[in-house]
Structure formats: structure tokens, C-alpha cells
Amino acid sequence: MKTVVPYGLLTLLLLTLPGWADSEEVRTFTVVTPTVRLEKIVPARTFVGDEFPVEIHVKGLVDAADVVIQDVLPEGTSYLRSEPVGSLEGTSLNWTIRSITAGEKQVIRFVLRAERGGILSACTPMTASRHCCAVTTVGRAQLVVHVTAPESVPLNGHGLFEIEVQNRGTVTAKGVLLTNPIPLRFEHASGFNSLDFQLGDISPGDSRAVPVMLRGVARGEGCDVAIATARNAKIAEGRACTRIIEGILKLSKVGPRSQRLGKHASYAIQVTNTGDFTLTDVTIADLVGEGVTVVQAKKATTSDGFAVWTIPTLKTGETRAFELIATSAETTGLIENAVSATCTEQINATTSAPTVWQGYPGLLFEVVDTNDPVLIGDKTEYRIRVTNQGTADGRNLRVVAEFPAAISPVEASGDAVGDIQGRRVEFPAIDTLEPKRYLEFVVKAVAVDSGEVRARFTLISDVLENPVIEEEATRIY
């Protein structure tokens, strides 16, 4: 007996549902004819992009031949494969069972893919007036990623980024993975370049929040990008940017490289905020150095060699200038005139303008003969003293003595041994004569002829513009 199950009425209804949850449940729809019993089994729910199976169970109620099964594919689906292979004509998928005995059961399986959301109604005609319909609900998981960044992050400081993954779809997002590459100018305590967070399944309307603490390591803008994926949802991405800011104080001080004792030295001080934010309670402290005193520092508080200025606020790009006048009465040498800047935000800067304080050399040149008058053939001594009465070192000192023919030098000693060349005596150079110190030399000479003679003594030094000349008269009988 030949049984034909012809194409009949197809009911296709697409509705928008407010939301549903995934389930592994299936739905079974049954229709019975005098010849065969047909059961159609479909999943209760699926999601967009998913491949889902459909089974048609055909059971013979009597011996029959040439049983034709027709299944009309619902809108919003696409046909992938079937077993046994059916013939697809338009939207109608057809199989022919050549023979089936009473009680025999045969199974037809085919796979469809859901292309859009809603309710899919697919009908499998049994007779001209009677058919079997199956309903499958198709849902969508939709991920949304929000990243919240701090307004700013201080250089070498930490900033908290809040990442939230939401499921705005109508089915559960399966196996959600959040990936967070470490953004430029930041680093994570783990040392990794990227962080992965397994968030599991996220139901419709639910969300997962992940805090990420990052350290800013370079000045400038840094953007955090977070990427969420799931087995049944499209990739979602969120992004938020912040700035890594740095506080910088630029401090400069200019003054004389050298100055004489007792004179005034003027120093120009400048402080500039070259950073990214306003600094508060900026304090400029100038330490003029040991032995140096502050003569004048307008609008500053001064005490014990200090001058201190206070600036309530110093905006980005703003510069403030100050002048300090100092002097040294007695202390000579290199004095490190240092200045420092600090503020509430713990930004610091230091610099200096060293000055060499120079004294005044004052060389006293004295010559005295110890035996005057003297007889021919007797000796006399010429005592020479060079005293530094000033406040600076005497440099490269040389003493030269020249005698007339009536008296002849025979010995030259003292703080250095002199070189006698005829009637000329020259003592070697002395490199340094410190303040309040003196040098002594002695020249012994023999009288060889009578008369009043004058010996000439010359002091030469780098600190003297001209040589100092002294003459000492001696009477010979």
C-alpha cells in the first residue's frame, strides 16, 4: 500500500520574547494517521548562530510502501545536513520511505542553524488536512563591556580600573572570558603583558565586575582596552583612557663665581612648575653657607644664614623669582650657596650657585742690618722678613738682594737657601704665604771698603702689581 504525506498548510510565526534562559529540554510533537505514527523532536530553546538537531520518528501502524515525508524549513533558519539525505526543493525538505512494516520504526535526522531570534514554527504535513508542527525558541547572548578609568594616575603611582561585563541578551552567555592587555605606559604587579579572567556563564541581565590595579610608569595618556568573548556571543570590547601625570619643580640659581670679602654678592633664584598639576605650599629655602650672612632677601624669613620664601600655590607653567644678597666678612674659599624647593605634594628640587670668596693679600717687606756701623773686614747680617697681613694667600714670592762693591755677600739662609752670584743673592720662590704668616731670610756680608753703602732688596709676588723695593744703608769704616 502506498502512503503519501503531502505538503499541506505551513504555520510560521516569529515573535519577540522579553527574555529566556538556556535549557537542554526538548519538545516532542506527535500526529497519528491510519498508516503511520509521526513524532517530531526539537530543542525547546537555542540561540542565534547555533546549530540544532531535529528528529522525525516514523512508526508503521500497518505495512506500507512509498511513505513520503515533507518538512518545510521555517524562516530564520538554514539547512545544513540530514541523515538519510533528503531532497531540498525550495524550503521543502523531502524523504521517501520505500517500505515500512507494522511496528517498524525509522528515524530521520537533520540539522538547522538559527539565523535570527524569535519563535520558529516548522510544520511537517501528514495529510492534506492534518500536520505535525514543532516550535523552537531562538535567543541571543549579547555581551557589553564597560571600563571605568581613574581621572588621572600619578607617575609611579597606582590607578584602579573597573571592568564590567554585562549580558544584555536573552539567553545565558556561555564560558565568558575577559582579556585585558596591559595598556601602554602602565604595568601590572604580576609582570604579565595581558591578564585573563574566566567569568563563567552570565545569565541575561546579569554582569560581572573585575577590578584591575595598574601602576603608571611613563608620563602621558594611557588607554585600557578590555575584550570579552563567549562560546555563543560575539566579541565585545570596552575602552577607557586616563593620563599619567607628574609633578615637577624646576629650580635655578645664578650668582657670582667669585667675590671679595666684605663685598655683596647678588643671587637670582627662579622656581617653575613644569609638571601637570598645581603645587601647594611651595617652600624655597636658601642656605648661604657657613661664614656667609644674608644682607637682604625681600619677602623672605631670614635667620642663621637661611632665607625662606613660601608660595601658597604654584600653577602649571608658573614661575616665581627671588633675589638674595649675601656677604662674607672673613671666611674665604669656595662656599656652596645651596637652595632647595619642597611642596605639599612631596615634589623636591635642589641646586646651588657656589662662590669663591677671596680675601685681600697684604705683604709687609722689612729689611734690617744687625751690625751698623761695621769695620772693614768685619761681617754684618741683613735680616729680611715678609709678613702676610692680609686675608688672602700670597702667591709665588721671591726675594732678591743686590749689594754694592764695598760689601760682599758670603752666606744666604732662612726659610730658603739663597743662591749667591757675585754681589747678587736670589732666594727660590715660595708658592704660598698664608694670611698672618711670615717668612724670614738672612744674608751675611763682609765689609771690603769704607763708605756709606746701600744694599737693595726686592720682593716679587703674583699678588703684587709691582715689585716692592727696600734699601738698607750701612756705614763702613
All domains of the chain, ordered by start, with CATH? 2-139 (2.60.40.1170), 143-245 (2.60.40.10), 249-358 (2.60.40.10), 363-476 (2.60.40.10)
Q: What is the pLDDT of residue 19?
A: 33
Cell (9 digits) for 76 = 530564520
Residue whose C-alpha cell reads 638674595 in the numeric block? 324
Cα 466 from Cα 86, distance rounded (Å): 126
For residues 316 and 278, is the Cβ–Cβ distance under 8 A?
A: yes
Q: What is the pLDDT of residue 41?
A: 93
Q: What is the pLDDT of residue 159?
A: 95
* β-pair type (333-335, 355-358): antiparallel
Q: What is the pLDDT of residue 25?
A: 81
Cis check for the bond before 84: say yes or no (omega within 30 of 0): yes
pLDDT in tens, 400-409: 999 999 999 9
Q: What is the pLDDT of residue 133?
A: 58
Cα 288 from Cα 338, distance rounded (Å): 6
Cα 308 from Cα 402, distance rounded (Å): 61
Q: What is the pLDDT of residue 122?
A: 65
Beta strands per DSSP E along 61-172: 64-72, 77-83, 87-89, 92-100, 105-114, 118-125, 131-139, 143-148, 152-154, 158-167
Helix or strand or coil: residue 8? coil
Q: What is the pLDDT of residue 432?
A: 93
Q: Integer distance in angstroms from the first to the last C-alpha of the chain?
A: 179
Residue 304 Cα distances to 294, 296, 332, angstroms: 8, 13, 18
Q: What is the pLDDT of residue 5?
A: 41
For residues 1 and 35, is the Cβ–Cβ distance under 8 A?
A: yes
Residues 6+ away with beta carbon under 8 Å from 85 = none
Which is nearest to 309 in space by CA: 284, 288, 276, 337?
284
Cα 426 from Cα 421, distance rounded (Å): 8
**pLDDT less than 70: residues of the chain:** 1-24, 121-137
Cell (9 digits) for 383 = 735680616
Residues 6+ away with beta carbon under 8 Å from 272 = 249, 250, 251, 317, 318, 319, 320
Helix or strand or coil: residue 424? strand
